[in-house]
Amino acid sequence: MRQASARIISETPSPLRTAKALVAALVLVIVTSTMTLAAPHSALVIDANTGKTLYSSDANSRRYPASLTKMMTLYLTFEALAKGKISKSTRVPFSANAAAEPPTKLGVKKGDSITVETAILSMVTKSANDAATATGEFLGGSEENFARMMTSKARALGMKSTVFRNANGLPNTGQFTTAHDMAILGIALREHFPQYYHYFSVRSFMYGKRRINGHNRLLGRIKGVDGIKTGYTRASGFNLVTSVADNGRHLVAVVMGGSSGRSRDNEMAHLIKKYLPKASRRGGGDLIAKNDNTSPVAAIAKLLPKQDAPIPGDRPETRIASTTDDGPTPPAAIPVTAVAQAYAEPEQSIDPVRTASVPSGWVVQVASTPTQAGAHHFLETTSQKAKAVLADASGFTMAFQKNGTTYYRARFGGFGSKDDAWDACRALKKKKIACYAIQQ
């Protein structure tokens, strides 16, 4: 540094210099006051058996979700599958808008399509932006309407500090979340859709002749890690939501705003190593310790209802937006007010449906298999064969030991009483589906 540069300037500043200084100061004040996403780093570790917060660092600071957004896209996809509105083989068409999304992407051309299962796999592994957009347009009629559905679902799950603007997480200043809300979504995905949760542990899949590899480097690196999702944009930093289950203990952990993928992964590995031994092997009841009033998830039992909550209304009966060289043309069947609502935080209350965790504790068991995949298969086939009977029920698996061997029960829960469970079982038997009702 030159000696002259260290001198203190004592001359009276000129009017022009003063004006520039005032403008610069004003800009600094405005920018500082409007930076709601200013937290440099957020992290949270939740005991998913009890809901207790084991570690928290700025967990309620607003952050950009990046590709963690796809967790909600997948939630709504799983919901549509569970309700029988779509199947894994249903074709998802690609509009010009979806095909034009920037990488990472599958590279599907306008007018082509992929199966719902391929879309799921591409989102959990490659984090494909084009597949996420196409799925959103397919389920919502337009990406704008799907974003409204996403935010409505977030509110229904208790994610009070999250707003979605698109299906993929590409940069949008109006799209934000918190580590707290992402933990809620991570827990909800596992609790509400155990029959589809296995997709999050997929490390690669074949797309035509190409092998698509995943981005989650903790899969296979740390024992018990079974997903969930990575995310990155320049504005968000490196994000990660991770689920780990080992020896009866289960954590959901979130790291947002990492400075690099490696540092983010290393921090997550450290959090898992430190807090997994402190997690409880016992679950059930309220999803949080009753005396825990200081954590940022002090009421996760209230914020995360164990029952799933339906989206407000069915998918609009519209076609994918037609597109010209000037851009997509909004579908005529979606009114302007519906598009406008996509940018408002919905306030409507949404009545939840019953699932496996309703307090009655009565469930219906339809199979016991030596593999979890086999149990998932029974859940899916039973759901398809008995849609009306199990419309308000939720499938789940439960591991148990017999003579030193692990088996998996396939069960449906969400019945309000013993009579409801017995009635469901009688209806299933009429459809030649073996079952019995039991209170957990």
- Tell me which residues are annotated as active site: 67, 70, 127
CA 125 to chain centroid:
14
Whole-angstrom Cα distance, residue 318 to residue 337?
A: 16
Helix (H) or strand (E) holding 182: helix 179-192
- Is residue 366 within 8 A of residue 428, CB to CB? The reply is yes
CA 248 from chain centre, in angstroms, equals 23
169 contacts 316 by C-beta, under 8 angstroms: no
| CA–CA separation, 303 and 310 (whole Å) | 16
Tell me how many degrees the CA angle 247-248-250 measures, rounded to the nearest 5: 105
Cβ(252)–Cβ(276) below 8 Å: no
Which one, of 191, 193, 197, 151, lies nearest residue 172 by Cα? 151
Report the C-alpha dihedral over residues 299, 167, 121, 223, rounded to 10 degrees.
-30
Q: Where would I find the beta strands (DSSP E) of 129-201?
A: none
H-state helical runs in 318-386: 336-341, 372-385
Residue 20 marked in a binding site:
no
Q: What angle do CA 58, 59, 62 make, to 5 degrees?
A: 85
Say if CB 390 and CB 412 are below 8 A apart: yes
Tell me if 314 sits within 8 A of 154, measured CB to CB: no
Tell me what percent of the chain is helix, strand and coil, each rounded to the nearest 5: 35, 20, 45
Backbone angles phi, psi at 311, to 5 degrees: -70, 155
The residues facing 212 across adjacent strands are: 205
Positions at the binding site for substrate:
229
Positions at the binding site:
229
